[in-house]
């Protein structure tokens, strides 16, 4: 894959394939959470939505969280949606609608992101079969699948640094500027999921003397931006 392909891909699987198996567990879990937030309206209010909040909390304590706890919590999000996607024999349900296609894309990409080993390969194979199914079953599911996969690709690029570029380095003077304005803005964006403030953060970075074009451009980009956004993480010192 070239850098141009990384930037333009609307399929998240090739992007995930570039991430090594040792990729930061927190970021992988936050990608799973971001994926589920894209289909928030499809999640049951009882069970799945509270479990998503719990999974986000576990992601932030990923170093201490037990894998069994993470897997159990992820299952609480997915389990109510399984009958919508799979039948009793493990195949895909007939007659998918657009919403189910989006949920299925989310579920499979989330499985791949959670474990870049064997689970990744299994999820990618399932995604190929699902794509064949939505193409057979009509325009609405196909459009929903393609749209969801494009959004998930954008989330991968938001969370993980461009592998073809070196990681930006923020001088301490930028973080200390004007009584820590840059840091405080980033913390507020992170805590409140106020990603609409990222252009304000870009202006503050410039005023503080930051000249990293990739960082400024990312803060000014349309996104979507999610928890784990590499620009915000960089400023906050999160891995």
Cβ neighbours, 10 Å, residue 146: 18
Euclidean distance between CA atoms 140 and 134, whole angstroms: 9
How many angstroms separate the CA atoms of 131 and 135, rounded?
6
Do the beta carbons of residue 228 and residue 30 sit within 8 Å?
yes
Question: How much is the pLDDT for 167?
Answer: 85
Write phi, then psi, for 28 (nearest 5 degrees): -65, -40
Q: What local confidence, expressed as pLDDT, does residue 65 receive?
A: 67
Q: Which two tokens stand for residue 176?
A: 């200390």
pLDDT of residue 174: 95
Distance CA 173, CA 183 (A): 11
What pLDDT does 96 receive? 92
pTM value surpassing 0.75:
yes
pLDDT tens-digit profile, the chain (239 residues)? 899 999 999 999 999 998 876 778 889 999 999 999 999 999 999 899 999 999 999 988 866 668 888 889 999 999 999 999 998 877 899 999 999 999 999 999 999 988 777 778 889 999 999 999 999 998 999 999 999 999 999 999 999 999 998 888 889 999 999 999 999 999 999 999 999 999 999 999 999 999 999 999 999 999 899 999 999 999 999 98
State residue 98's pLDDT score: 95
pLDDT, residue 21, reads 67
Cα–Cα distance measured from residue 160 to residue 100, given in angstroms and rounded to the nearest whole number? 27
Across-strand partners of 135?
none
């Amino acid at each position: 894959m070239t850098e141009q392909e990384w930037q333009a891909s609307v399929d998240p699987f090739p992007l995930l394939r570039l991430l090594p198996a040792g990729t930061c567990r927190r970021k992988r879990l936050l990608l799973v959470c971001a994926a589920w937030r894209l289909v928030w309206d499809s999640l049951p209010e009882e069970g799945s939505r509270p479990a998503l909040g719990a999974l986000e909390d576990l992601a932030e304590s990923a170093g201490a969280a037990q894998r069994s706890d993470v897997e159990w919590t992820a299952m609480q999000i997915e389990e109510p949606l399984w009958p919508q996607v799979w039948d009793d024999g493990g195949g895909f349900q007939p007659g998918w609608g657009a919403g189910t296609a989006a949920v299925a894309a989310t579920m499979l990409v989330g499985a791949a992101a959670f474990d870049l080993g064997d689970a990744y390969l299994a999820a990618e194979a399932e995604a190929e079969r699902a794509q064949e199914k939505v193409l057979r079953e009509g325009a609405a599911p196909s459009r929903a699948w393609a749209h969801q996969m494009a959004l998930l690709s954008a989330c991968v690029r938001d969370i993980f640094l461009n592998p073809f570029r070196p990681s930006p380095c923020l001088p301490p003077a930028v973080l200390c500027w004007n009584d820590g304005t840059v840091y405080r803005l980033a913390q507020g964006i992170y805590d409140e999921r106020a990603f609409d403030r990222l252009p304000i953060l870009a202006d503050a970075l410039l005023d503080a003397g930051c000249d990293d074009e990739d960082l400024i451009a990312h803060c000014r980009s349309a996104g979507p931006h999610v928890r784990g956004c590499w620009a915000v993480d960089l400023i906050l010192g999160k891995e």
